[in-house]
Amino acid sequence: MRITIVQGAFLPVPPLLGGAVEKVWFNLGKEFARHGHEVVHLSRAFPGLPRAETVDGVRHRRVSGFSSPRTFTQRTVLDFWYGLRVKAVLPEADILVTNTFWLPWMERRESRGRLYVHVARYPKGQMRLYRRAVLQTVSEPIREAILAEDPTAADRVRVIPYPLADRYLLSQVPKGEEAALYTGRVHPEKGVHLLIEAFARLSPKQRGNWRLKIVGPWEIAFGGGGEDYLKQLQAAAAPLGNNVEFVGRVFDEAKLIQHYASARIFVYPSLAERGETFGLAVLEGMAAGCAPIVSALGCFQDFVRNGKNGRVFNHRDSDPVGALSRELADLFANETATASLRQQAWSDARHYTMNTVASQFLEDFERLRQQA
């Protein structure tokens, strides 16, 4: 099969600047090639990366893109110009996978492959533009949001989760330190302020020797909340001294895995009701044996089971800081319960291996190819 993957205009592939979508499709492309398929991966040109190269059987082509802008309107305008550049160099294919905004509307040549749109964010009215495409997303809540925009799409929507690269699947649950970890963009919609305030609300006896580590970019260029937000967080954490550590951005996967392995609890207090689609970082933490604590967003319910392999706190509560603080205090104090959650989380993460998820995609691609 000939498979073309087109990545967005703003982040490079390999994922040198992070990005869950870029990381996932970079790895999926290599897995498709390992299964014997012809894979071409188009992405943004970036300093230090050649315009054309072959990596693990995948032919990479890079076209001029853009630095990530501040607003959604700016993103869509820049994505339009990027889509035109990509369209000009698309090879013939059986399947064309993309998460760009405009390309599925622009590209109408059957020779470029059956359109397969990866819906990586909450839809914002564009689903009606994609009525010739299969729409693939990663969780049931996003599937429902797609159908709310376009009820005629029911037979074209696929729910296939994000996979874990094998390197994240540690062979056993590490001992870990008495540390709670957050990884991701340091942005208000991720609820990082909520986490620091909840940790600060604990009494010294409740905190004991536990520490909090915040890993991720705060810079606006990398999707963070900016310097003012970072200063707000640092001020909230100041009374706790060295018990709160701001690590900064970590895009190197080996170093990121070390952070997961060094923690016992992973906290992802996202408040993004219409922004969160899956939470790959949560699954990565589970694969390293972290007990996850997540907000009550619907997308997490596909793989975090409250009281079984993690904890869910009500971020819509009148006192969300208190709700999260109680979960932290309970796991900090109850070593047996935490160990049980960690073991079950580690085990459940094994359902999301790269080979398992790639096979789901390839089976769907083959069905579409036969229909065509």
Q: What is the pLDDT of residues 152-186, one digit of tens each?
A: 999 999 999 999 999 999 999 999 999 999 999 99
Greatest Cα pair distance in the chain: 66
pLDDT of residue 27: 96
Q: What is the pLDDT of residues 189-217, one digit of tens each?
A: 999 999 999 999 999 999 999 999 999 99
Average pLDDT over residues 76-96: 97
Question: Which residues, including other chains, have CB under 8 Å from residue 318's CB and lie 6 or more apart?
Answer: none
pLDDT of residue 371: 87
Q: What is the pLDDT of residues 213-247, one digit of tens each?
A: 999 999 988 889 999 999 999 999 999 999 999 99
Q: What is the pLDDT of residues 308-361, one digit of tens each?
A: 999 999 999 999 999 999 999 999 999 999 999 999 999 999 999 999 999 999
Could you tell me which CATH class the domain 2-163+353-371 is placed in?
Answer: alpha beta
pLDDT of residue 72: 84
CA end-to-end distance (rounded Å), the chain: 13
Instruction: Supply 153's token pair.
Output: 């799409």
Question: What is the C-alpha to C-alpha distance for residues 372 and 369, in angstroms, rounded to an integer?
Answer: 5
Instruction: Supply 283's token pair.
Output: 């699954």
pLDDT of residue 204: 95
Contact 17, 221 (CB under 8 A): no
Question: What is the C-alpha to C-alpha distance for residues 162 and 21, in angstroms, rounded to an integer?
Answer: 9
Q: Report percent pLDDT > 70 for the chain.
A: 100
Which CA distances in Å does 316 have to 196, 219, 301, 342?
17, 27, 16, 26
Average pLDDT over residues 252-270: 96
Average pLDDT over residues 357-368: 97
pLDDT of residue 127: 92
Counting DSSP H helices and E strands in the chain, the numbers are 12, 14
Confidence of residue 125 (pLDDT cuts 50, 70, 90): confident
Question: What is the C-alpha to C-alpha distance for residues 364 and 158, in angstroms, rounded to an integer?
Answer: 9
Q: Report percent pLDDT > 90 for the chain.
A: 91
Question: What is the C-alpha to C-alpha distance for residues 6 and 65, in angstroms, rounded to an integer?
Answer: 12
Contact 309, 346 (CB under 8 A): no
Residue 241: count other Cβ atoms within 10 Å of its Cβ.
7
pLDDT at 70 over 80: no
Among candidates 84, 43, 83, which has minimal Cα distance to 63?
43
Question: What is the C-alpha to C-alpha distance for residues 336 and 326, in angstroms, rounded to an integer?
Answer: 17
* Burial class for 2, CB neighbours closer than 10 Å (0-12, 13-18, 19+): middle
Domain boundaries, the chain: 2-163+353-371, 166-351
Average pLDDT over residues 63-82: 91
Instruction: Supply 4's token pair.
Output: 């073309």
Question: What is the C-alpha to C-alpha distance for residues 52 and 104, in angstroms, rounded to an integer?
Answer: 23
Angle at 195 between CA 190 and CA 198, to 5 degrees: 150
Q: What are phi and psi of 27, to 5 degrees?
A: -75, -35
Contact 290, 183 (CB under 8 A): no
Contact 327, 295 (CB under 8 A): no
Mean pLDDT of the chain, nearest integer: 95
Question: What is the C-alpha to C-alpha distance for residues 97 and 24, in angstroms, rounded to an integer?
Answer: 13
Instruction: Domain 166-351: give its CATH superfamily.
Output: Glycogen Phosphorylase B; (3.40.50.2000)
Residue 72: count other Cβ atoms within 10 Å of its Cβ.
11
pLDDT of residue 120: 87
